[in-house]
Amino acid sequence: MGGFRDFLMRGNVVELAVAVVIGAAFTGIVNAVVEGVINPVIGAFGTQNLDDYTLCLRGNCEPNEAGRIDGVAIHWGSVVSASLTFLITAAVVYFLMILPMNRFLARRRAKAPVETPAEPPVETELELLAQIRDELIAQRSGGATVGAQRTAPERGASLDKPSDGRP
């Protein structure tokens, strides 16, 4: 039971539960806006109920005497209504919740002290190759590292031949 209690008391689970409850309540508000404002505006150009917008693909899409529809109808109005509900919900969540939270976090990060990490010494590829060469020579001869005694050869010089022209 202790593990279950810890799971329930973690912040993520509680935040998720609050989000679901608020989302459910918010859906009612958005549906009321769509039904009370958007549908009447669309109704000024056609019908007020978007579910009435259909496209009949085949047969008769009007109900017969038995109340049955023999045709194949696509109810695109309900898809438009659901899409509008989604867009309004997403816009409100973004502009009233996400955007202010991002601004708050950005201000918080700007006020936090900036730590600059120590940068490692930058070595050129030629210097690194010279160090590898020196280590290999030291291993072959069994002696100490000679990297401190030698310098990196000039650009274009061979690593295994002296640069003074000797073979």
pLDDT at residue 57, rounded to an integer: 83
Within 13 Å, how many C-alpha atoms sit on residue 142's CB side?
0
pLDDT at residue 134, rounded to an integer: 92
* Percentage, residues of the chain above pLDDT 90: 5
In the predicted model, what is the mean pLDDT of residues 64-69? 77
Q: How far apart are CA 97 and CA 23, in angstroms?
A: 12
> Which of 32-46, 57-71, 74-88, 133-147 has maximum average pLDDT?
74-88
> Which of 76-80, 86-90, 146-150 has maximum average pLDDT?
76-80
Angle at the Cα of 65 (from 63 to 66), degrees rounded to 5?
85
Residue owning tokens 């060469």: 133
Model confidence at 138, in pLDDT bands (50, 70, 90)?
very high
pLDDT exceeds cutoff 60 at 67? yes
For residue 78, what are its two tokens? 């309900």
pLDDT digits (tens, 9 = 90+) for 4-60: 777 766 667 777 887 888 888 888 887 788 778 877 887 787 766 777 788 888 877
pTM of the model: 0.47
Q: Locate the domains of the chain by residue range.
A: 2-111, 124-154
Beta bridge partners of 56: 73
In the predicted model, what is the mean pLDDT of residues 59-80? 80
Fold of the 2-111 domain: 1.10.1200
pLDDT, the chain, mean? 76
pLDDT digits (tens, 9 = 90+) for 102-122: 899 899 888 888 777 766 666
pLDDT at residue 147, rounded to an integer: 47
Burial of 115 (C-beta count, 10 Å sphere; 0-12/13-18/19+)? exposed
